[in-house]
Structure 1
């Protein structure tokens, strides 16, 4: 795992991040044994330990935060833009991430020079402000206080983190966010479930759904429990059947010059 992160860091000019995904016992996999279930997995916590060891402590488990940790940021942008934003309220065990900055070949997680917990708590308090001139008060307070959570002495040279986060959160558009992402390397994970480790509470808080002819289905239920396969089978027909029904050839129609088996 650490070699993947090292490769990304060496090529940060073209790589924006690394997202690790676990082994899931699903799909076409057959004859799953007890040994597979017990020894064939690497969970979220183990992933962080392996990275910490492989990167000689440059990144540790303390640098990672679960997905819903950033929820207050969505709420603040929603208040400022007066537009509904995506709310990352998944179960904490569904995954997590950190951001690192690369300087002279070394990795510096954002947590090493920024009080991210204090900052997010500050964001949460701002998003709950009310009354006249609410947005003006929020922006003014944010610009005045955001820098208090950043240790400029420990930050990578040439990185003006205060300006980056002020522009990103007060503007909330792609260009302002791009400046942050192009300066950092995202390292995260998405922890899928299958029939042997299913947690109903996690399914209830799923934030990635499939819209199907059978209704809305949570990601892990669709992919990990075979529900998606059943839905596809129920509503699919073979190429031969389609051609007979439509009196057209798929080779000359939907796929044009694409391969047809």
Structure 2
């Protein structure tokens, strides 16, 4: 062997380069089996949407009647603030730790209850504010026509409060969808199970799966936000709709011809 010949070491040739978590996530998301297999994305997405829908509906069943009634009688503003602050002060992870130890047990039931508590503040506050902000002249005219208090609430105040109710529902739904990933802590299902399974594999192997699960939750929350924004505008009476940003820009007077 000549003196100028250099022999490469065993690690210099053929060394495997581990893909980055982003590359792993792309590969994981493009694997059809990760979507269609039992416990895959389709199953977890169905669980996630079911949990979120039940939680928001339960929150509406509790918050809307209370908020509408308190707004109608023009009382309870302080109570609404206290209830909202108390429910917001309780971390969802704390409730997910405590509720499974009750009669609810583990699974989806404690997750739905915990997320419903989390959904109550925006639903309660917007329902109360929407009725309180109803036009006073419309209420007085309804009473002058002989409508009862319940009829005034149902026929006058509630339709005028629809934009507030829709905004509160939209806020609560997006918050619940984003937070429902924590359901995996109590074996409650949802897209969080994908993230938990990735952590179980370790960052070196499951980093891509963790990232893919996070992306799925974020995209779902954005989709819910977009869909409910369209629904909110659709259910709001036309006279009560706020002009879109582009419409406001187009309506601005131009500087052409001004001195």
TM over 0.5: no
More strand by share: 1
User: Which has the larger share of helix?
Assistant: 2
Rg larger in 1 or in 2? 2
